[in-house]
Amino acid sequence: MNVFEFTGLVGFGSLLAGLLGSLTGLGGGVVLVPLLTIFFKVDIRYAIGASLVSVIATSSGSAAAYVKEGFSNIRIGMFLEIATTIGAVCGAFLAAKVSTSAIAIIFGLVLLYSAYLSRKPRSASDRNVPPDALATRLRMNGSFPDAGGLRHYNVQRVPAGFSLMFGAGALSGLLGIGSGAVKVLAMDHAMKIPFKVSTTTSNFMIGVTAAASAGLYLKRGYIDPGLAMPVMLGVLAGSLWGTRILVKAETKWLRLIFSVVIAVLGVQMLVKGVFGTI
């Protein structure tokens, strides 16, 4: 395989990863790291470095479009990013003291259970919950365009969501993985935020976490421009394509795609934890 073929195949794979990351709010790294390491035999450190660049591209590309369309809730994203960032710092500090294999097994089980939960559509009572006092004080309640017009929603259980975001950041720091799955689930299940708003707000948030990690990988020389460039361009194109699909897509299909992806990720985490390869 010559350089042009390699670049073209990596770019095409990255486009699909960006599309998936944009639709689910997970970022393209869930697909990219296994793709680069297994199929293209790229060293995992360089694959993670390119993946972090792709997550920034996904966030930058899709988040801008989602904000413009009125889906992302910036106030929720900025508030919860505080917890994620603190959690990531704590997770990085504990990485040398805690068994990552045990954490990976627990995380895998949580993801598999979450994949089951995410398939269930939200009931009418969950959609029409009364305003939460703390969420109202923080002005988190919002609206987004739906098939029937502008749909308003109320945010619930802010402390629970904040705590889960701290856990998401800690897992990211401990295992070196993206925490988009936990972010979406925290907003969707704990805070009762509509699924489209959860995924789009997660897309807005993941770039901040990835930017901090990418700086470390750049300093250590693990971001190869020859690899990162086609990955970034492919993911950016895929994420912009995904924004056009999400606006018109039905929530039940988005939930199905999300549940399948995090189920695969959960199995991967379990395998890595059991065999001690993480």
pLDDT digits (tens, 9 = 90+) for 155-167: 988 999 999 888 8
Q: What is the mean pLDDT of each run of 10 residues along the chain (278 residues)?
A: 84 84 68 78 81 76 76 89 83 70 75 72 64 88 82 89 86 66 81 86 78 75 87 84 78 77 78 74
Q: Give residue 29's pLDDT.
A: 65
How many domains does the chain divide into? 1
| Pair 235, 58: CB distance under 8 Å | yes
The contacts of residue 94 (CB under 8 Å, 6+ apart) are: 170, 173, 174
| Pair 12, 170: CB distance under 8 Å | no
Domain hosting residue 102, numbered range = 3-275
Q: Give residue 162's pLDDT.
A: 92
pLDDT digits (tens, 9 = 90+) for 218-250: 887 888 888 888 988 888 888 788 878 877 777
Q: Give residue 112's pLDDT.
A: 81
Single pTM value for the model? 0.74
